[in-house]
């Protein structure tokens, strides 16, 4: 199972090769992959419908208790089937839509990778597996939205989608970690079967808010809904797949998945049903402002996502059945409608519904399919959408809390949606014939296969609800509920309140459609209001981040060397000083076991350093640093480190010679700083000195660990055959370090020679072109 | 001995940081030298100081006679001394080179790469 799914990534990697072998038929060949997976899923369907949960386990990081486990229950099955079936249609469709596109290869690679990510997401059992696939869908969808990367608008939209969903992803990760802490497991199955443990945990609310942050951004819930319509910059097959049927439903999937463990509390019901209803209303209402067919559909997708969230929030048995039904219905009709929008765009050259008209004679099949899908969207019998809508109304009526608000919002959303459905199909296909930028004709069969297939399913499930109802949807609803439910769908519920609501909304929706042009005109007066919407908030946030980073670059990365040093030193003093003085009780062992000659050497050493600081002559400074170095060598020798003493002597001699050689080519000491700056630097340097002193005293007083060198001392002669233990360490125990050291010295030497050999440009060359001369010498 | 050394190393660090905060490039070099020496002494002292017991094994013996100074910090410091010299040589030549081209002894005037 894992192999079957993950092999998709391999397939994606080989897509460019396939393109070479199969040329124009690549899309069809690639479509075999989701089709095969769908068939395999169908063979598992009887077991899943029987209430079985199929587990495919594979060890991943056993030491961390993580495994790459896939679980196939009703909910996963429903999603996996939607992903593979619609994926098959979309790939076939894309072969027609993007025919001859120079970047078709890239499209294939990314969309197959996306498909696999999405499958992994809905099948994953481990929280981290889920998270990895979740982020993969964000990244692949970024690449897909920005497919037309030469278009500024597409890039901007892609970035917006990425920021919103990945920002939510961060919240999700925090939520998942809390979930694992609360439930003490990384496996979804174990977590969800733990009863009320999660609901009663102290972390419940923060955990829920973080998880909802992830789900709401991904599923474009209010106020994060703005990225979805912008994502319509993607090619239409992408919109049909990602932004109707799959990716945006990832958030919904997560909510449904977590419902048995987290759902049913006051916070869950309150947040989900109100946010869902608000999203539903916002989506349907904002749709009416647009004439671009893809935007119309995108906003109606937001409406549907809101509906699904709201139903999960209500959470009654009826609501959960409505949830799975609506989910299936929406994926079927929205996929079809988006593909039809693509056909219209492809064949007529415009996306503006007001610019099209009377196309039904030219494109009869498309028109018929569009009618079926739109009727399902509007919720007209005998289509599957009607069943979904009836169940939705029923659940709204039985909602426990916030019933009035939810009812009002969802009823008006239903009216707007019906108007949208009418606009999408009646405007382009009926009415008088209008001239379009391209001469319209029927779409090629590759592009029709998808919409036709999906529309047939809509009609079939509507006419014979048993086909979808008893089996798959029961299993899915049971998985969401966490207990066994029985679903029996029927087209005719008798004359009841939901039916009356349907009829009223149909009438009002049609009325709204008739007066759409006028309504849209009036709505445009509200435009200034939308300038302050959530999207403006997003823009302000982004600008703010840029301003903050500009500010901090200006302050911290200002190019002044001493500022960098100052910042580092001050931070070091603050951090180390804090833990030294406040968190570690200072205990110093002050002993004055000092012999006279040692004190003299140390005093000379310090005097050398101090004189180097105050000397006004360069030679004096170098000489006094040399004195300090020789005193250090003496200290090494006095305290049992003869090798160090010898090395220090050698190096100090070389250093002084080097400095003297170079010194007279260097500038004289200049007095550049003001007294105030000196005082400030003295304070900083002095604090650093005090800190280091305290640090050494503390370290010496608290000798906590046994030295690790015991082994080296013992084995120096028996194993390494050397009597000088320091040398043995350098050339034997830590030989690789010494090798590295040699490399560093060699590199430094090469650098020194290179810089000394390169001649500076002559003054007259500089006069001609100062910048150029320096550049040439640097290149040379 | 350690408290006296701690005081001395503290002073070396203070002088090193003070010199590195100056704008004159030669003072930066001096600061760098002071800092590397101070850091070597820091490691050396932190491991504890032992008089007259170098980590050597006498001829014919398998292990040193009695307690000797810890050889590991010494090996570390030895590496550090050599590396510090390499870095210093590179830095000095680099600064000399920069000075030849930029003709500025003030670090603040070296902000531009296009001189």
Judged against a pLDDT cut of 50, whether residue A769 lies above it is answered with: no
CB contact under 8 A, B107 and A749: no
**Cβ <8 Å between B92 and A692:** no
Q: Does residue A684 sit at the B interface (CB-CB below 8 Å)?
A: yes
pLDDT attached to residue A689: 93
Q: What pLDDT digit, counting tens, does each position of A342-391 carry? A: 888 888 888 888 888 888 888 888 888 889 888 888 888 778 888 888 88
Residue of A622 and A769 predicted with greater confidence: A622
The H or E element spanning position A72 is: strand A70-72
| A700 near B CB under 8 A | yes
Question: What are the CB-based long-range contacts (under 8 Å, 24+) for B96-102?
Answer: B96/A662, B96/A665, B96/A666, B96/A755, B97/A755, B97/A756, B97/A758, B97/A760, B98/B25, B99/A665, B99/A666, B99/A667, B99/B25, B100/A665, B100/A760, B101/A760, B101/A761, B101/A774, B101/A777
pLDDT at A564 over 60: yes
Domain boundaries, chain B: 2-49+71-104
A136, A117 contact by CB (below 8 A)? yes
pLDDT exceeds cutoff 80 at A742: yes
Closest Cα in chain A to B70:
A709
Inspect the interface and report whether the beta carbons of B64 and A628 lie closer than 8 Å: no
Please give, rounded to a whole number of angstroms, the shortest distance from the CA of A568 to a CA of chain B: 11
Q: Do B40 and A632 lie within an 8 Å CB cutoff?
A: yes
Q: Is the pLDDT at A666 greater than 80, yes or no?
A: no
A597 C-beta neighbours (distance < 10 Å), count: 10
Whole-angstrom distance, CA of residue A419 vs CA of residue A520: 12
What is the C-alpha separation between A221 and A305, in angstroms, rounded? 7
What distance in Å separates residue B30's CA from the closest CA in chain A? 7
Where is pLDDT greater, at A718 or A592? A718
* Cross-chain CB nearest to B17 (options A561, A668, A684): A684
Cis peptide before A382 (omega within 30 of 0): yes
Q: Do the chains contact at A640 and B53, CB–CB below 8 Å? A: yes
Q: Across the A/B interface, how many CB contacts are shorter than 8 Å? A: 292
- Could you report the predicted ipTM of this complex, rounded to two decimals? 0.94
Interface contact B96-A714, CB threshold 8 A: no
Residue A720, pLDDT > 90, answer no
Distance CA A167, CA A154 (A): 20
A670 CB neighbours in chain B (<8 A) are 23-24, 105-106
pLDDT-based confidence at residue A135 (cuts at 50, 70, 90): very high
Q: Nearest residue of B to residue A664 by CA position? A: B96
- Among A201-205, A332-336, A557-561, the least confident range: A557-561
Separation in Å, CA of B98 to nearest CA in chain A: 10
Which residues in B lie closer than 8 A to residue A725 (C-beta atoms)? 55-57, 64, 68, 71
Structure tokens at B79: 């590496």
Q: How far is A543 from chain B (nearest CA, A)?
A: 28
Residues 543-572 of A with CB under 8 A from B: 559-562, 565-566, 569
Contact between chains at A662 and B13 (C-beta distance less than 8 A): no
**Within 13 Å of residue A154, how many CA atoms lie on the same side as its CB?**
17
B5: nearest CA partner in chain A = A602
Query: What average pLDDT does range A523-541 have in this prediction?
Result: 79
pLDDT of amino acid A771: 38
> Whose CA is closest to A379, among A340, A406, A419, A343?
A419
Residue A779, pLDDT above cutoff 60: no
Task: Spell out, as residue ranges, where chain B has pLDDT lower than 50.
Answer: 115
Task: Tell me, yes or no, if A507 comes closer than 8 A to chain B by beta carbon.
Answer: no
Residues in chain B: 115
Give residue limits of the domains in chain A. Answer: 263-524, 525-557, 560-587+676-704, 595-665, 705-749
A770 has a pLDDT exceeding 60:
no
Residue whose C-alpha is closest to residue A609's, from A700, A694, A699, A685: A685
CA B103 to chain centre: 28
Is A440 in contact with A370 (CB distance < 8 Å)? no
**CB contact at 8 A, A631 and A602:** yes
Which candidate, A84, A64, A60, places its Cα nearest to that of A72?
A84
Residue A335 contacts residue A86 (beta carbons within 8 Å): yes
Contacts of B20 in chain A (CB under 8 A): 562, 565
Instruction: Tell whether A601 lies on the interface with B, counting CB pairs under 8 A.
Output: no
Contact residues on chain B for A571, CB-CB shorter than 8 A: none
Contact B20, B31 (CB under 8 A): yes
Tell the residue number behind the tokens 């070091």, with chain if given. Answer: A572
Could you tell me if A631 lies within 8 Å of chain B, comparing CB atoms? no
Q: What is the mean pLDDT of residues A37-57?
A: 84
A443 or A736, which is more confident: A736
């Amino acid at each position: 199972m894992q192999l079957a799914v993950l092999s998709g990534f391999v397939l994606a990697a080989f897509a460019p090769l396939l393109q070479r072998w199969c040329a124009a038929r690549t899309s069809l060949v690639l479509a075999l992959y989701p089709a095969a997976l769908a068939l395999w899923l169908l063979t598992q369907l009887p077991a899943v419908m029987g209430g079985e949960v199929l587990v495919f386990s594979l060890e991943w990081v056993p030491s961390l208790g993580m495994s790459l486990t896939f679980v196939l229950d009703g909910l996963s099955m429903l999603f996996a089937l939607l992903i593979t079936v619609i994926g098959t249609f979309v790939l076939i469709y894309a072969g027609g839509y993007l025919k001859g596109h120079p970047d078709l290869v890239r499209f294939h690679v990314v969309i197959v990778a996306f498909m696999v990510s999405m499958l992994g997401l809905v099948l994953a059992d481990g929280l981290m597996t889920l998270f990895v696939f979740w982020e993969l869908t964000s990244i692949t969808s970024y690449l897909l939205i920005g497919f037309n990367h030469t278009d500024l608008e597409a890039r901007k939209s892609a970035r917006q989608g990425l920021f919103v969903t990945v920002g939510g992803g961060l919240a999700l990760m925090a939520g998942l970690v809390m979930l694992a802490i609360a439930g003490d497991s990384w496996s979804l199955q174990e977590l969800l079967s733990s009863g009320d443990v999660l609901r009663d945990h102290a972390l419940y609310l923060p955990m829920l808010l973080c998880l909802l942050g992830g789900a709401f951004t991904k599923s474009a819930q209010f106020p994060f809904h703005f990225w979805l319509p912008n994502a319509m910059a993607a090619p239409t097959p992408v919109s049909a797949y990602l932004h109707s049927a799959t990716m945006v439903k990832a958030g919904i999937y997560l909510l449904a998945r977590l419902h048995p463990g987290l759902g049913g509390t006051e916070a869950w019901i309150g947040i989900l049903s109100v946010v869902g209803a608000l999203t539903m209303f916002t989506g349907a209402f904002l749709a009416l402002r647009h004439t671009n067919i893809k935007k119309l559909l995108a906003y109606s997708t937001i409406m549907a996502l809101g509906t699904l969230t709201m139903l999960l929030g209500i959470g009654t048995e009826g609501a959960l059945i409505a949830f799975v039904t609506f989910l299936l219905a929406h994926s079927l009709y929205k996929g079809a409608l988006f593909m039809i929008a693509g056909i219209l765009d492809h064949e007529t050259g415009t996306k503006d519904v007001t610019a099209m008209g009377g196309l039904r004679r030219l494109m009869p099949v498309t028109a018929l399919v569009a009618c079926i899908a739109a009727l399902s969207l509007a919720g007209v019998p005998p289509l599957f959408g009607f069943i979904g809508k009836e169940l939705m109304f029923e659940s709204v009526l039985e909602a426990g809390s916030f019933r009035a608000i939810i009812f009002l919002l969802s009823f008006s959303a239903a009216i707007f949606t019906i108007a949208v459905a009418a606009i999408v199909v009646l405007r382009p296909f009926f009415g008088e014939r209008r001239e379009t930028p391209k001469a319209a004709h029927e779409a090629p069969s590759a592009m029709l296969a998808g919409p036709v297939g999906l529309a047939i399913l809509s009609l079939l499930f509507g006419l014979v609800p048993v086909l979808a109802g008893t089996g798959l949807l029961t299993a899915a609803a049971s998985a969401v509920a966490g207990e066994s439910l029985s679903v029996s769908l029927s087209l005719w519920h008798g004359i009841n309140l939901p039916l009356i609501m349907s009829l009223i909304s149909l009438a009002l929706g049609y009325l709204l459609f008739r007066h759409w042009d006028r309504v849209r005109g009036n709505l445009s007066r509200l435009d200034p209001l939308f300038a302050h919407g959530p999207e403006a908030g997003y823009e302000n946030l982004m600008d703010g981040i840029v301003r903050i980073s500009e500010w901090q670059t200006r302050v911290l990365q200002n190019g002044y060397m001493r500022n960098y040093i100052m910042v580092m030193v001050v931070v070091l003093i603050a951090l180390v000083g804090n833990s030294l003085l406040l968190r570690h009780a200072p205990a110093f062992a002050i002993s004055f076991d000092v012999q006279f000659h040692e004190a003299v050497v140390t005093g000379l050493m310090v005097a050398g350093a101090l004189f180097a600081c105050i000397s006004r002559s360069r030679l004096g400074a170098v000489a006094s640093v040399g004195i300090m170095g020789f005193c250090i060598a003496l200290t090494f020798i006095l305290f049992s480190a003869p090798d160090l003493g010898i090395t220090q002597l050698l190096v100090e001699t070389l250093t002084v010679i080097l400095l003297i050689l170079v010194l007279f080519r260097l500038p004289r000491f200049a007095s550049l700083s003001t007294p105030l700056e000196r005082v400030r630097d003295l304070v900083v340097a002095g604090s650093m000195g005090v800190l280091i002193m305290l640090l050494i005293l503390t370290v010496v007083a608290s000798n906590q660990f046994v030295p690790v060198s015991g082994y080296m001392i013992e084995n120096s002669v028996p194993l390494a055959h050397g009597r000088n233990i320091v040398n043995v360490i350098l050339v034997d125990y830590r030989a690789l370090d010494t090798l590295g050291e040699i490399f560093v010295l060699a590199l430094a030497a090469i650098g020194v020679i290179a810089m000394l050999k390169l001649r500076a440009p002559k003054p007259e060359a500089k006069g001609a072109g100062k910048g150029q001369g320096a550049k040439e010498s640097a290149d040379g | 001995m350690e408290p006296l050394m701690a005081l001395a190393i503290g002073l070396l660090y203070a002088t090193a940081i003070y010199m590195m905060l100056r704008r004159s490039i030669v003072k930066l070099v001096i600061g760098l030298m002071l800092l590397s020496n101070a850091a070597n002494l820091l490691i050396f002292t932190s491991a504890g100081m032992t008089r007259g017991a170098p980590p050597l094994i006498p001829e014919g013996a398998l292990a040193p006679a009695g307690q000797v100074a810890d050889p590991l910090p010494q090996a570390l410091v030895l590496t550090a001394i050599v590396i510090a010299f390499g870095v210093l040589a590179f830095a000095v030549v680099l600064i000399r080179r920069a000075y030849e081209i930029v003709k500025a002894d003030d670090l603040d005037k070296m902000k531009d790469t296009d001189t």
